[in-house]
Amino acid sequence: MIGFTLTEEQVALQKTARDFADKYMRPYARELDRMPSPHFDWKIIDRFAAHGMLSFFIPKEYGGLGLDAVSCAIVCEELAAACDGQQGVISGSMLVADCLRVGGTEEQKRKYLTLLADKKGKVGAVGITEPDAGSDMQSISTRAIRDGDGYVITGAKHYITNAGVADLYLILATTDPARKYAALDFFIVPGDSPGLSLGKVEDKVGQRASQNGDVILDNVRVPAGNLLGRPGTGFLVAMQALDLKRPLMAICGVGIARSAYETALDYSKKRIQFGRPIFHNQAVAFALADMATKIDAARFMTWRACHLIDQGLEFTREASMAKIVASECAMEVCSRAMHLMGAVGYSRDLPIEKYFRDAKALSVIEGGNEIQRSIVAEQL
């Protein structure tokens, strides 16, 4: 059975998320985007926490709303449409939650998913990337050395979303570099651990409201029980969590594209040239028709991937396809919207240029689109 109609609950959720985004995100988007780096506005977290936006993806039994993947996508589209930079803060926590759900013991889930669902506003960060290791995880050099009843972790993580902001880090480290993938493990590291510090903060092109930076681990000691799940599972947990997160990255592209398209559509109906709105020129109307078509296609591909996740079916290929299509759709729509609006679109007075900069990140981060194509190709 194939259906594209949202349930009553999903429609209500969509409205709630849109109202929240319009009231508590959109008004701050421009100001946050233009803050000189490094800067992080903690009020973002306060606003999210006050309206349950940091826990909708956490299972009910751990204090969250327990939304399924399709419903999470519906919410995330609204948040990203308002400001994908602010949405990035939630995105960092979502990846932590996915890792915990996939690989954590029941005790770890109860302790740390509950922490992320805390109404006081707690966020998480996953540390995988290093200066010399990203998609190639076997090159990870952060070491975790067993020492008595714990592990001592030393290394540096790079470009980490919510670095310096997170209450909880999941750090991928090797317990024995010679054993490569077999020795990779996630370690749960509280944000206030002695030896954990924020390094260089990235001065990003877009998504400037969220903070990405280096996380330095200098002999950080954690109890043995902070190794996520069972030893040797870090690689598989990371891959599965990134796969699960991929459609939500895709839907952010849909949200950004939708905002750019709506801005251009509105402009084209108000901008009068030669005695009529420019929308009545086929060249303009067709461009908008193309944008609307591609946004719908990207959204439906993303919903398909989410639906497969919710049904417990194989979804890897479809998730990668969705990310490719949606991230490239976002770039194309932003570019065409800017072109269609001429000099006004190229000005920083309107948000098109922000959408453009925010969109670019989606084809680059959490597995660039070349990686996504290789995932799809592997399964052909």
* Residues with active-site annotation: 366
Q: Does 242 bind another protein (CB under 8 A)?
A: no
Q: Which is nearer to another protein, 186 or 303 (CB)?
A: 186
Q: Does 91 bind another protein (CB under 8 A)?
A: no
Q: Does 314 bind another protein (CB under 8 A)?
A: yes
Question: How far from 305 is each of 131, 322, 323, 358, 363, CA to CA, in Å?
Answer: 31, 7, 10, 23, 17
Which of residues 16, 154, 193, 240 is near another protein by CB under 8 A?
Answer: 240
Burial of 232 (0-12, 13-18, 19+ CB in 10 A): middle
Q: Which is nearer to another protein, 215 or 241 (CB)?
A: 241
Q: Which is nearer to another protein, 78 or 185 (CB)?
A: 185
Question: Please, are residues 357 and 206 in contact by the beta-carbon 8 Å criterion?
Answer: yes
* Cα distance between residue 351 and residue 229, in whole Å: 44
Q: Does 232 bind another protein (CB under 8 A)?
A: yes
| Amino acid of residue 307 | H
Which of residues 10, 135, 138, 141 is near another protein by CB under 8 A?
Answer: 138
Choices 69-77, 226-234, 270-278, 336-344 (CB under 8 A): range interacting with another protein: 226-234
Question: Please, are residues 215 and 127 in contact by the beta-carbon 8 Å criterion?
Answer: yes
The radius of gyration of the chain's CA atoms, rounded to the nearest angstrom, is 21
Choices 67-75, 143-151, 215-223, 228-236 (CB under 8 A): range interacting with another protein: 228-236
CB of residue 72 to another protein, shortest distance in Å: 19
Q: Does 274 bind another protein (CB under 8 A)?
A: no
- x/- mask, another protein, residues 164-203, rule CB under 8 A, reads --------------xxxxx---------------------
Helices (H), 271-281: none
CB of residue 288 to another protein, shortest distance in Å: 38
Q: Which is nearer to another protein, 61 or 266 (CB)?
A: 61
CB of residue 176 to another protein, shortest distance in Å: 9
CA dihedral for 369, 372, 377, 380, sign (positive or negative): negative
CB of residue 180 to another protein, shortest distance in Å: 4
- End-to-end, the C-alpha distance of the chain in Å comes to 25
Q: Does 230 bind another protein (CB under 8 A)?
A: yes
Please give the sequence-ordered ranges of beta strands (E in DSSP) within the chain, or none if there are none.
124-127, 143-147, 150-161, 168-174, 184-190, 196-201, 212-223, 272-273, 276-277
* Cα distance between residue 23 and residue 37, in whole Å: 25
* Cα distance between residue 123 and residue 176, in whole Å: 30
Binding site for another protein (CB under 8 A): 102-103, 105, 138, 178-182, 229-230, 232-233, 235-237, 239-240, 243, 314, 316, 375, 378-379
